[in-house]
């Protein structure tokens, strides 16, 4: 089996460009071929060279087959909402791009100004997959978006105005400054502290001591500000936060340090306190960083899709994005356009496809006075609609809002860690107070203070607070690099508890569009078969017609003939005269003058990697179930091909039934792509949207696979299981450590100084445990490199 | 041990110099994007060749 030159996907039926007569460069689909041709035309063939040389960075090239006009990006509403003036007062916009993966993408995108007049400067941030583009005078955003889309990088405008984006950068820089100062302070203090530990005496000890105090001040009173702020907020909201004991330890440490300096005692805890500040800030910074990365939920907020519609203003029509429509607007909907909001048809009779909302695949006849709903598709003539609701208030808009409101959930294990930390904090306070009071009642105030302080320092729950977020962060960022975009931490924990996997059929395990798989010519015809097909099917928009046209083009149809008496019966077929002959195409048969001349069958092909993916999931002890809205016969066949058994196949399932099935299954993973999956995806225990999913499913799902097919799902499950092993290991480690250290502090086995040394050690242990991971996890997160090697050998 | 009276100020000055350098770089935005420039540098060479070919 060969692989596609462009996207590296395995190919069943390769296609070749018309120039490529020797069939050297195989492609899997027209989308890839189109992108290849665009690059070739622009003289950018070097893309493939760079791609193939980028070794481990090499990843599948993106393909976006859906063409969009993006004309709405030129409307003043859009420009004022999404663009801003950069420092050179050029109009600038940020796009989140899907499919950014390697060096070649960077090359291609930063070269935009060379082949697109509209662009002045184009800068890509690979980490966030965000490109910042400034316009030349007279340039249009729609041209840029179209170009990016054609190249396979689907653009999503980010609602960034100068203030908010620069605010974020400012914030990040401030955080970096704090970390840097803390690191420098901690490092320098270590230098002098070691001298004191090593036994510096007299004036040297005093000078060193003074120096540690000086270096500690910016750390404690500048870098540590976030802790004080959080602690103060927690106190004001009457909650407990781990920042409270940290703040108290820091302030107490500062007080004792300065007090000791004045009284001439060469002893302080600044070495461990500053190290603590540094490590905590660092881990929080990385955690924040990963949460901003890629398709995080908050970024998705700004995404919206949909082409512009024609709005009637006076007697003319104006291009406008559905987002800016209001009720009572009159809009024109043409063939194959999605209706953006609920309304009533004013003019025109047409067929409306409701499958998105109801799952029904048979279109409905609609005429003036009939109601139409958002998210439905116009399959017939142009119609005029008077809107009764704005897009937001429409049915689809409401589903979307429901989906969005379900996002803001916190990971339960992170939550658990936080809860444990809170109890922990409370317990430590009570113990420390009790300890102090006990010694106070005995009249040993100094010893009481010392023991309580030791306890506070040694039990700082940072090992606890650090371990889980760090492990999650590491897994999330590595997974994102493999093309598995996980929206929240929660998913990892849930995936490790999985029992059942529900698979959608169309577009998930299959390619999602019909293809002619078998064309048998039964007897000679007056015209070449491909020409008959392409002539008759030329006008139809039925998916079968599209498949037949594609087939005819591929098999070299030369000429499109005029068809007289053309008739299309919806759902049945087409017929008409070419010259004197009467042709018919219906139900998998082609007729010439009522004589059958050819037979064909259409099928939505199963992706080559689907069966393996299903097997792998089953090998992990998971129950794989197919759940599809399609007819029983088709679903059974495809499920059979994947090796699924009868009781695990559900066909003709409506979106509501899907939802009910998923909701009744407490540990189910739902994998889907379509709008009829969206509700199930949003309510599922865990949900995965595959590449090419509809906007709404993308929003609903917890995980988004940016690689084609479902082959990454089993890897995702493995990664989650291994990550949970590390998390549990870390929690155990830090709990054991804390119990031992509390005991030691309580009984006075250790002094504050020893406590200050042990405390960072415990954090380091956990950090180390996180970084070394497990053998299996490391292999999983690296597995890509091996894949590439295998592919190279194959080719 | 007298030498330490010279070494310590030097050490402190060095530390301060690095901190100032770090602050300067951060404020200038050198740390805003750590990934892309590292890759961009690899492209410089290919960039030139393509321009030559075009000429």
pLDDT digits (tens, 9 = 90+) for A446-493: 788 778 777 777 776 666 666 777 787 778 777 877 778 777 667 888
CA end-to-end span of chain B = 68
Q: Which residues of A touch B35 (CB under 8 A)?
A: 125-127
Would you mind telling me the total number of residues written for chain A in this entry?
795
Given a cut of 70, whether residue A129 has pLDDT beyond it is yes
Burial state string for A745-766 with b = 16 or more CB within 10 A and e = fewer than 16:
bbeeebebbbbbbbbbebbebb
Q: Do A126 and B29 touch (CB under 8 A)?
A: no
* Pairing mode, strands A119-125 and A500-503: unpaired
Contacts of B23 in chain A (CB under 8 A): 177, 180
Model confidence at A773: pLDDT above 60: yes
The answer to whether the beta carbons of residues A6 and A59 sit under 8 Å apart is no
Q: Is residue A787 classed as helix, strand or coil in its secondary structure?
A: helix
Q: What are residue A122's DSSP bridge partners? A: A133
User: Which stretch of A106-115, A253-262, A297-306, A463-472 has the lowest confidence by average pLDDT?
Assistant: A297-306
- Nearest-CA residue of chain A relative to B2? A204
Please, what is the Cα angle at A703 between A701 and A707, to 5 degrees?
120
* Beta-bridge partner residues of A687: A670
Averaged pLDDT, A728-755: 81
State the pLDDT at residue A696.
Answer: 64
pLDDT of residue B17: 95
Beta-bridged to residue A85, according to DSSP, are A91
**Positive or negative torsion for Cα A86, A87, A89, A90:** negative
* Mean per-residue pLDDT, A374-390: 80
* Structure confidence at residue A410 (pLDDT): 42
pLDDT at A784 (0 to 100): 47
Beta-carbon contacts of residue B41 (< 8 Å; ≥ 6 apart): none
pLDDT at A409: 46
Q: How many CA atoms lie within 13 A of A570 on its CB side?
A: 11
Q: What is the pLDDT of residue A57?
A: 44
What confidence score (pLDDT) does residue A14 get? 72
Q: Which DSSP symbol is given to A16? A: -
Collect all residues of chain A within an 8 Å Cβ-Cβ radius of residue B12.
188, 211
Phi-psi region of A461 (alpha: psi -120 to 50; beta: other; left: phi over 0): alpha
Partner-chain contact A173 B19, CB within 8 Å:
no
Within 10 angstroms of residue A97's Cβ, the number of other Cβ atoms is: 22
- Confidence class for position B19, pLDDT limits 50, 70, 90: very high
Counting Cβ atoms within 10 Å, is residue A793 exposed (0-12), middle (13-18) or buried (19+)? exposed
Is a pLDDT exceeding 60 seen at residue A788?
A: no
pLDDT in tens, A414-430: 566 666 767 777 787 78
Per the CB < 8 A criterion, the answer to whether A100 and A336 are in contact is: no
Per the model's pLDDT, the better-predicted residue between A173 and A518 turns out to be A173
Q: Does B33 contact chain A (CB < 8 Å)?
A: yes
pLDDT at A728 over 50: yes
Task: Give pLDDT, residue B24.
Answer: 93
Facing B33 at nearest CB: one of A127, A184, A191: A127
Put simply, the answer to whether A50 touches B1 (Cβ < 8 Å) is: no
Mean pLDDT, range A122-146, rounded to an integer: 83
**What three-state secondary structure class fits A120?**
strand
Q: Using the predicted structure, report yes or no on whether residue A575 has a pLDDT greater than 70.
A: yes
A84/A514: higher pLDDT: A84
- Residue A108 pLDDT > 50, yes or no? yes
Return the ∠ at Cα B29 (arms to B24 and B35), rounded to 5°.
Answer: 125
Looking at per-residue pLDDT, the higher value among A222 and A750 belongs to A222
Q: Provide the mean pLDDT of chain A.
A: 76
For the stretch A135-143, contacts whose Cβ atoms lie closer than 8 Å and that sit 24 or more positions apart, written own/partner, are A135/A90, A135/A91, A135/A92, A135/A93, A136/A90, A139/A91, A140/A73, A140/A74, A141/A70, A141/A73, A141/A74, A141/A78, A141/A79, A141/A83, A141/A93, A142/A69, A142/A70, A142/A71, A142/A72, A142/A73, A142/A74, A143/A116, A143/A118
Instruction: Taking residues A690-713, report their average pLDDT.
Output: 74
Average pLDDT over residues A235-242: 77
pLDDT digits (tens, 9 = 90+) for A169-225: 788 889 899 999 999 998 899 888 878 777 777 888 888 888 899 999 999 999 999
Smallest CA–CA separation between B2 and chain A, in Å? 11
Q: Pick the more confident residue, A793 or A277.
A: A277
A317 by DSSP, 3-state: which?
strand
Residue A794: pLDDT band (50, 70, 90) is: very low
Lowest model confidence (mean pLDDT) among A171-180, A327-336, A413-422, A667-676: A413-422
Residue that wins the pLDDT comparison between A34 and A385: A385
Tens of pLDDT along A535-562? Answer: 888 776 666 777 788 888 777 777 778 8
A106 touches chain B (CB under 8 A): yes
**Which candidate from A123, A124, A177 shows the least CB-CB separation from B26?**
A177
Using the Cβ of A409 and the Cβ atoms of chain B, whether some distance falls under 8 Å is answered with no
What percent of chain A stands above pLDDT 70?
79
Kindly report the nearest CA distance between residue B3 and chain A, in angstroms. 12
Sheet holding A350-353, edge to edge: A364-366, A350-353, A377-378
Does residue A337 contact residue A71 with C-beta atoms inside 8 Å?
no
Å from B23 to nearest chain A CA? Answer: 6
Distance from CA of A129 to the nearest CA of B (A): 10
- Among A191-200, A262-271, A389-398, the minimum mean pLDDT is found in A389-398
Asked if A103 reaches chain B (Cβ–Cβ under 8 Å), the answer is yes
Cβ-defined contact of B35 to A176 (cutoff 8 Å) = no
H or E segment and range at residue A476: helix A462-481
Q: Which residues of A touch B50 (CB under 8 A)?
A: 43, 46
Q: Is B24 on the interface with A (CB under 8 A)?
A: no
- Report yes or no: B2 at the A interface, CB cutoff 8 Å: no
Give me the pLDDT at residue A413, please: 53
Mean pLDDT for the stretch of residues A741-755 = 78
> Does the beta-carbon distance from A127 to B26 stay under 8 Å?
no
Beta strands, E only, A691-769: 703-705
Q: Spell out the residues 6+ positions from residue B7 whose beta carbon is closer than 8 angstroms to its own.
A: none
B23 versus A572: the higher-pLDDT residue is B23
Task: Verify whether the Cβ–Cβ distance A173 to B18 is below 8 Å.
Answer: no
A580, pLDDT greater than 80: yes
- Pairwise CA distance, residues A655 & A163, whole Å: 42
Contact between residue A625 and residue A650 where contact means Cβ atoms under 8 Å apart: yes
Beta-carbon contacts below 8 Å between A and B: 65
Q: How far apart are CA A767 and CA A447, in angstroms?
A: 33
Sorted by sequence, the CB contacts under 8 Å of residue A605 that are 6+ apart come out as A12, A510, A511, A515, A517
CA-to-CA distance for B15 and B10, rounded, in angstroms? 9
Examine the pLDDT at A758 and tell me if it is beyond 50.
Answer: yes
Condensed to tens digits (0 to 9), the pLDDT of residues A50-79 reads 776 665 444 555 555 455 667 777 777 778
Is B7 at the interface with chain A, CB within 8 A?
no
Q: How confident is the model at residue B53 (pLDDT cuts 50, 70, 90)?
A: very low
Which residues make beta-bridge pairs with A309? Answer: A320
Taking an 8 Å cut-off on Cβ atoms, the answer to whether A50 and B43 are in contact is yes
Interface of A with B in 195-224 (CB under 8 A): 204, 207, 211
- Contact: A181, B19; criterion CB under 8 Å: yes
Are A59 and A101 spatial neighbours (Cβ–Cβ below 8 Å)?
yes
pTM attached to this predicted model: 0.63
Task: Pick the residue of B5, B10, B40 with the most A CBs within 10 A to test the interface with A by mutation.
Answer: B40
Confidence band of B14 (pLDDT split at 50, 70, 90): very high
* Residue A49, pLDDT score: 73
């Amino acid at each position: 089996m060969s692989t596609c030159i462009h996207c590296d996907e395995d190919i069943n039926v390769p296609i070749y460009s018309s120039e490529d007569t020797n069939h050297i460069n195989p492609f899997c689909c027209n989308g890839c071929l189109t992108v290849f041709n665009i690059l070739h035309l622009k003289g950018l063939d070097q893309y493939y060279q760079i791609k193939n040389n980028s070794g481990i960075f090499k990843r599948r090239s993106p393909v976006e087959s859906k063409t969009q006009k993006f004309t709405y990006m030129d409307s003043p509403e859009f420009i004022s909402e999404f663009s801003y003036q950069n420092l050179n007062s050029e109009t600038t916009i940020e796009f989140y791009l899907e499919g950014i993966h390697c060096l070649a993408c960077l090359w291609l995108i930063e070269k935009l100004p060379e082949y697109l007049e509209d662009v002045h400067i184009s800068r890509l941030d690979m980490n966030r997959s965000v490109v910042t583009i400034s316009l030349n005078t007279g340039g249009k955003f729609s041209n840029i978006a179209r170009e990016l889309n054609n190249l396979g990088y689907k653009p999503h405008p980010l609602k960034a105005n100068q203030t908010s984006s620069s605010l974020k950068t400012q914030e990040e820089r401030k955080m970096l400054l704090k970390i840097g100062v803390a690191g420098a302070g901690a490092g320098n203090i270590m230098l002098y502290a070691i001298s004191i530990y090593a036994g510096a005496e007299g004036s040297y000890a005093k000078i060193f001591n003074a120096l540690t105090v000086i270096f500690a001040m910016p750390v404690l009173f500048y870098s540590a500000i976030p802790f004080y702020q959080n602690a103060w907020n927690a106190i004001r909201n009457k909650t407990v936060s781990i920042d409270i004991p940290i703040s108290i330890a820091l302030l107490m440490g500062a007080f004792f340090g300065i007090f000791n300096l004045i009284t001439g005692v060469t002893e302080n805890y600044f070495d461990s306190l500053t190290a603590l500040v540094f490590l905590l800030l660092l881990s929080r910074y990385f955690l924040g960083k990963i949460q901003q990365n890629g398709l995080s939920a908050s970024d998705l907020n700004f995404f919206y899709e949909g082409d512009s519609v024609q709005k009637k203003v006076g007697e003319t029509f104006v291009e406008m994005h559905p987002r800016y429509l209001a009720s009572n607007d009159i809009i024109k909907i043409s063939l194959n356009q999605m209706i953006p909001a609920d309304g009533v048809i004013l003019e025109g009779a047409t067929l409306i496809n409701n499958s998105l909302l109801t799952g029904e695949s048979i279109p409905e006849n609609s005429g003036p006075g009939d109601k139409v709903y958002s998210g439905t598709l116009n399959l017939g003539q142009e119609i005029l609609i008077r809107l009764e609701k704005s897009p937001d208030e429409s049915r689809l808009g409401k589903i979307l809002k429901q989906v969005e409101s379900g996002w803001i959930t916190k990971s339960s294990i992170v939550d658990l860690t936080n809860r444990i930390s809170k109890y922990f904090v409370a317990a430590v306070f009570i113990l420390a107070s009790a300890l102090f009071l006990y010694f106070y009642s005995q009249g040993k105030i100094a010893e009481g203070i010392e023991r309580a302080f030791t306890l506070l320092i040694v039990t700082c729950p940072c090992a606890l607070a650090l371990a889980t977020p760090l492990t999650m962060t590491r897994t999330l960022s590595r997974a994102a690099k493999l093309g598995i975009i996980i929206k929240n931490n929660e998913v990892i924990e849930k995936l490790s508890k999985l029992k059942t996997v529900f698979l959608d059929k169309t577009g998930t395990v299959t390619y999602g569009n019909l293809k002619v798989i078998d064309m048998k010519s039964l007897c000679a015809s007056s015209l070449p078969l491909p020409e008959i097909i392409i002539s008759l099917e030329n006008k139809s928009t039925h998916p079968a017609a599209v498949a037949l046209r594609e087939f005819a083009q591929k098999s070299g149809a030369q000429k499109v003939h005029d068809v007289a008496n053309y008739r299309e019966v919806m759902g049945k077929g087409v017929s008409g005269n070419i010259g004197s002959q009467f042709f018919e195409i219906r139900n998998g048969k082609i007729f010439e003058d009522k004589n059958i001349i050819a037979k064909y069958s259409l099928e939505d092909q199963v992706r080559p990697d689907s069966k393996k993916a299903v097997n792998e999931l089953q090998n992990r002890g998971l129950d794989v179930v197919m759940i599809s809205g399609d007819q029983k016969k088709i679903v059974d066949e495809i499920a059979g091909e994947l090796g699924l058994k009868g009781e695990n196949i559900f066909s003709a399932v409506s979106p509501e039934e899907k939802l009910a099935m998923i909701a009744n299954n407490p540990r189910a993973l739902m994998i889907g792509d379509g709008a009829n999956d969206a509700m199930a995806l949003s309510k599922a225990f865990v949900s995965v949207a595959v590449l090419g999913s509809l906007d709404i499913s993308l929003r609903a799902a917890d995980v988004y696979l940016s690689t084609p097919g479902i082959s990454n799902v089993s890897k995702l499950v493995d990664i989650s299981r291994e990550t949970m092993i590390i998390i549990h290991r870390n929690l155990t480690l830090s709990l054991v450590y804390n119990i031992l250290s509390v005991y030691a502090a309580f009984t006075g086995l250790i002094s504050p100084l020893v406590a200050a040394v042990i405390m960072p050690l415990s954090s380091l242990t956990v950090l180390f445990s996180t970084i070394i991971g497990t053998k299996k996890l490391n292999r999983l997160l690296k597995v890509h490199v091996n894949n590439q090697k295998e592919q190279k050998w194959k080719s | 041990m007298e030498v330490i009276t010279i070494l310590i100020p030097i050490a402190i000055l060095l530390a301060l110099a690095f901190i100032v350098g770090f602050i300067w770089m951060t404020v200038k935005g050198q740390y805003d994007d750590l990934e892309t420039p590292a890759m961009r540098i690899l492209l410089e060479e290919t960039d030139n060749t393509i321009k030559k070919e075009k000429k």
